[in-house]
A and B are shown apart, each in its own frame.
Chain A
Amino acid sequence: MERNMFALETRNVVKAYGTGTSVTKAVDGVTIGVRSGEFVALVGPSGSGKTTLLAMLAGLLKPTDGELMIDGQELGQMSEAQRTAFRRQKIGFTFQANNLVPYLTALENVELMLRLNGRLDKAGKARARDLLERLGLGDKLNNLPRQLSGGQQQRVAIARALIHDPAVVLADEPTASLDTERAFQVVETFAAMIREQNRAGIMVTHDLRMVQYVDRVLQMRDGKMAREITDRDEIFAMASTGLHDAPVAVELPRPAPQLVLEPVVVR
Chain B
Amino acid sequence: MFQDTKEEFYDLTVVGISDGRQYNLQPSVMVPFRTWDELRPQGGQSAPNAELVANLVAVRVAEGSDLAAMADRIESQVADVEVVDRVTAYEATPGYSAQQSTLDTQRYFALLIGILVIGGFFQILTLQKVAQIGMLKAIGASNFVVGTAAIVQIIAVTVIGVALGAAFTLALSLGFPPTVPIVFSPAAISAAILSLLLIGPIGGLVSVRYSLKVEPLTALGLAQ
* Cβ–Cβ contact A99 & B135, under 8 A: yes
CB distance from B167 to the nearest CB of A (A): 26
* Cβ–Cβ contact A61 & B141, under 8 A: no
Kindly list chain B residues whose C-beta atoms are within 8 Å of the C-beta of A81. 142
CA distance A172 to B134 in the complex (A): 14
* Cβ–Cβ contact B132 & A116, under 8 A: no
CA distance A61 to B221 in the complex (A): 13
* Cβ–Cβ contact A51 & B139, under 8 A: no
Q: How many residues of A contact B (CB 8 A)?
A: 28
Q: Chain B contact residues: over half helix, strand or loop, or mixed?
A: helix
Q: Indicate if A141 sits at the interface (CB-CB under 8 A).
A: no
Residue of B nearest to A90 (CB): B140
Interface residues on B, range: 10 to 19
Interface string of A108-126 (1 = CB under 8 A from B): 0000010011000000000
* Cβ–Cβ contact A51 & B132, under 8 A: no
Which A25-81 residues have a C-beta within 8 angstroms of B?
51-52, 54-55, 58, 60-61, 81
CB distance from B72 to the nearest CB of A (A): 73
Q: Indicate if B151 sits at the interface (CB-CB under 8 A).
A: no
Q: Indicate if A143 sits at the interface (CB-CB under 8 A).
A: no
* Cβ–Cβ contact A113 & B139, under 8 A: yes
Known A-B contacts A87-B138, A91-B140; the reply to A55 vs B132 at CB < 8 A is no
* Cβ–Cβ contact A172 & B220, under 8 A: yes
Known A-B contacts A55-B222, A116-B145; the reply to A98 vs B131 at CB < 8 A is yes
CA distance A87 to B221 in the complex (A): 18
Q: Indicate if B56 sits at the interface (CB-CB under 8 A).
A: no
* Cβ–Cβ contact B140 & A95, under 8 A: no
From B139, B142, B220, B222, name the one whose CB has the most chain A CB atoms within 10 angstroms: B139
Q: Indicate if A259 sits at the interface (CB-CB under 8 A).
A: no
* Cβ–Cβ contact B221 & A51, under 8 A: yes
CB distance from A218 to the nearest CB of B (A): 18
Q: Indicate if A241 sits at the interface (CB-CB under 8 A).
A: no
Known A-B contacts A98-B131, A101-B132, A102-B132; the reply to A87 vs B220 at CB < 8 A is no
Kindly list chain A residues whose C-beta atoms are within 8 Å of the C-beta of B136. 101
Residue of A nearest to B216 (CB): A60
Selected contact of B139 from candidates A61, A93, A97, A172, CB within 8 Å = A93
Selected contact of A116 from candidates B134, B141, B143, B219, CB within 8 Å = B141
Kindly list chain A residues whose C-beta atoms are within 8 Å of the C-beta of B135. 95, 98-99, 101
* Cβ–Cβ contact B222 & A85, under 8 A: no
- A and B contact pairs by CB, cutoff 8 A, 6 listed: A55-B222, A58-B138, A87-B138, A89-B140, A113-B139, A116-B145
Give chain B's interface residues, CB within 8 Å of chain A: 131-132, 134-143, 145, 216-217, 219-222
Give chain A's interface residues, CB within 8 Å of chain B: 51-52, 54-55, 58, 60-61, 81, 84-89, 91, 93, 95-99, 101-102, 113, 116-117, 160, 172
Question: In the complex, given contacts A91-B140, A95-B220, A116-B145, what are 13 additional A-B residue pairs having Cβ atoms less than 8 angstroms apart?
Answer: A52-B222, A55-B220, A55-B222, A58-B138, A81-B142, A84-B137, A84-B143, A87-B138, A93-B219, A98-B135, A99-B135, A101-B132, A117-B140
